[in-house]
Amino acid sequence: MKAAVIKAPGVIEVEEIQTPQPAEGEVLLQVEACAICGTDQRVLKGTKPVDVPVVGHEITGRVAAVGEGVTEIKEGERYIVQTVIGCNECAACARSQQNLCEKGFKAMGYQYNGGFAEYIVMPRAAVDQGCLISIPEELTAEAGTIIEPLSCCVNGMKYIPLDKCKNVVIFGGGIIGVLNGLVAKAKGAESVTIMDVSQDRLDLLASLGLPFDNYVNTAEIDAETWVSEKTGGFGVDAVVVAASVKPLASLGVKLLAKGGHLSIFAGMPKPDPIEPIDLNLIHYGELNIHGANSSAINEYLEARDLVVSGKVDTKPLVTHRFSLDDFNKAVSTQADPSTGALKVVIIP
């Protein structure tokens, strides 16, 4: 089979490798589509370590074969892949929160070979956990790849009473910011504003016909002034930090109305993740601060239902499609803002 194989940091070659076969308890998927995410970019450049030569975790696939002992999953069925595999022994895993596994979770495309290949094996631990999530035949493979990142946003937004939010601000106009905004809209937020420092990015989002109410270029417009004017000085109900920029967290606190919610969705640079925040704003304003770390089965099921029902429209999100042979071109396209890429999908 063909696969995009990491040979060295920044060196990826599409080559023929042996097609894996499912052992006892395993499932072989034929990959229909696998999308590239920002974390994949860091892995491919060598700035984030993984244990395997083939990555990719936003996967839609069809069962090609099942190993001995697999009875609930049949050849020909379609699934998307839950990335996170927990120890399934700790208290968090017992709550079906493998993303918070106390022993540290493993993941498809990180500790197990991923979906930038024609086939992928789901290990027994993933099959037993229920990491194959069924999707209907009518759902496109491209739409299926959106469910994984959307599930992460569902997870991050679940702490916020979105149906009671009049104004939500999202920092970051990349795909994760967009998906957080789409979750907010689908769950009843009245007004969603995307803030970004790139006018080209904001223009791209506006051109896609997304259901957002405002696009604000914070390189030219002061966010605090804009929010104050927009809300009559009260502040917004929720702020989502969907960009790995530390000062956005402290700025987000300043934008919130009393009782507001700050979701720190994006991870910050590990060598220097500390950002000073005025704790009195949190104290006197009774603010709520939330984190977000991947997702687990309940969030996948909700994300799948949002996509299948049409409450989240994935059609505008996939801007570029490439074959596996053009994998390196796909990676460079996604990394280059001038290409107008939002979501790039590999179709083997």
Q: Where are the domains of the chain?
A: 2-134+317-347, 154-291
pLDDT 10s digits, 258-283: 999 999 999 998 899 999 999 999 99
Where do we find the tokens 């450049």? 45
Lowest mean pLDDT among 7-11, 21-25, 260-264: 7-11
| Residue 100, phi then psi, degrees to nearest 5 | -110, 20
Cα→Cα distances 3→54, 148, 172, 210, Å:
7, 21, 32, 34
Position 2 confidence tier, pLDDT thresholds 50, 70, 90:
very high
Model pLDDT, residue 270: 86
Where do we find the tokens 């002061």? 222
What is the average pLDDT value for the chain, to the nearest integer?
A: 97
Model pLDDT, residue 313: 97
pLDDT 10s digits, 130-189: 999 999 999 999 999 999 999 999 999 999 999 999 999 999 999 999 999 999 999 999
pLDDT 10s digits, 293-348: 999 999 999 999 999 999 999 999 999 999 999 999 999 999 998 999 999 999 99
Those residues whose C-beta lies under 8 Å from the C-beta of residue 101, and which sit 6 or more positions away, are: 84, 86, 87, 90, 92, 93
The whole-number average pLDDT for the span 229-255 is 97
Rounded to two decimals, the pTM is 0.96
The whole-number average pLDDT for the span 280-288 is 98
Percent with pLDDT over 90 in the chain: 96
Model pLDDT, residue 336: 92
Taking alpha carbons only, the member of 278, 325, 331, 269 closest to residue 56 is: 331
CB atoms within 10 A of CB 341: 20
Using the predicted structure, report yes or no on whether residue 84 has a pLDDT greater than 90.
Answer: yes
Cα 190 to Cα 209: distance, rounded to the nearest angstrom = 17
- Indicate the fold that domain 2-134+317-347 takes in CATH: Quinone Oxidoreductase; Chain A, domain 1 (3.90.180)
CB 145 within 8 A of CB 59: yes
Position 110 confidence tier, pLDDT thresholds 50, 70, 90:
very high
Percent with pLDDT over 70 in the chain: 100
The whole-number average pLDDT for the span 8-28 is 96
Taking alpha carbons only, the member of 14, 124, 106, 129 closest to residue 52 is: 106
Size (the chain), residues: 348
Model pLDDT, residue 91: 98
Cα 96 to Cα 93: distance, rounded to the nearest angstrom = 5
The whole-number average pLDDT for the span 114-124 is 98
Using the predicted structure, report yes or no on whether residue 190 has a pLDDT greater than 90.
Answer: yes
Cα→Cα distances 82→105, 235, 236, Å:
12, 37, 33
The whole-number average pLDDT for the span 206-235 is 98
Show the tokens assigned to 182: 């789409």
Assigned CATH class of 154-291: alpha beta
Q: Which long-range contacts (CB under 8 A, 24 or more apart) does 139-142 make?
A: 139/78, 139/307, 139/308, 141/32, 141/33, 141/60, 141/347, 142/33, 142/35, 142/60, 142/314, 142/318, 142/321, 142/345
The whole-number average pLDDT for the span 46-56 is 93
